[in-house]
A and B are shown apart, each in its own frame.
Chain A
Amino acid sequence: DAGVIQSPRHEVTEMGQEVTLRCKPISGHNSLFWYRQTMMRGLELLIYFNNNVPIDDSGMPEDRFSAKMPNASFSTLKIQPSEPRDSAVYFCASSQGTSYNSPLHFGNGTRLTVT
């Protein structure tokens, strides 16, 4: 079990550029979550999917953020255009969704810095 895999580990970009974060969940997990972690606001849920379908995107800050899950083994979080206030660590996590005995498994995160 390779765990949840996120790429890149670090991303430094200039304001206005497009940023794409990638996530490969654990095989067999049918729920996928994107979280953002900052010192000021802690861990915020941005969006989550169940069986590749977005269930709740109310945490997505604004229209500049979008997320997709084209298949069970891949998801992206895109920010276009990026702004300095988007700087944070973005975590992807997966779980077996409707199974009651399934906690979240987190990836190592992507540290995004927007200058």
Chain B
Amino acid sequence: AQSVSQHNHHVILSEAASLELGCNYSYGGTVNLFWYVQYPGQHLQLLLKYFSGDPLVKGIKGFEAEFIKSKFSFNLRKPSVQWSDTAEYFCAVSSGCYQKVTFGTGTKLQVIP
């Protein structure tokens, strides 16, 4: 069975600080990897995704993530956060012929102006 773990439950940063959120998954086969964001009071939205090719993936709003297969990791990064990045971030993995999607427990990011 696939699983996803996110190491940080709550992160507080000042504006302009750099961000890195950890994500590790466990699954022996081919996976597709995602980061979703949930702004306060809203539903989840896709930030970026990895299916194949270049392991460094760029998403919306200046976010990027790097897939390191040997470490089963897919960490999310942003060089300089803004107050508007305050949200909860979820790492997710899908696999199998029906692309079952499993989410991590989420990381709440609070950016202080």
Contact = CB atoms under 8 A, between A and B. Distances in A.
Nearest to A6: B43
A56 B100 contact: yes
A56 B101 CA distance: 11
Nearest to B52: A100
Nearest to B6: A42
Interface residues of B, number: 22
Nearest to A105: B46
Interface in A44-74: 45, 48, 50, 55-56
Contacts of B98: 31, 48, 50, 55-56, 97-98
B103 A43 contact: yes
The winner among A48, A91, A100, A101 for most chain B CB atoms within 10 A is: A100
Nearest to A102: B99
A98 B32 CA distance: 12
B100 A104 contact: no
B32 A100 contact: yes
24 contacts: A31-B99, A33-B101, A42-B104, A42-B106, A43-B90, A43-B103, A43-B105, A43-B106, A48-B98, A48-B101, A50-B98, A55-B98, A93-B44, A95-B101, A97-B98, A97-B99, A98-B98, A100-B32, A100-B99, A103-B34, A103-B46, A104-B46, A106-B43, A106-B44
Interface of A: 31, 33, 35, 42-43, 45, 48, 50, 55-56, 91, 93, 95, 97-104, 106-109
Given A100-B51, A106-B44, 10 more contacts: A33-B101, A55-B100, A56-B100, A91-B43, A97-B98, A98-B98, A100-B32, A103-B34, A104-B34, A104-B44
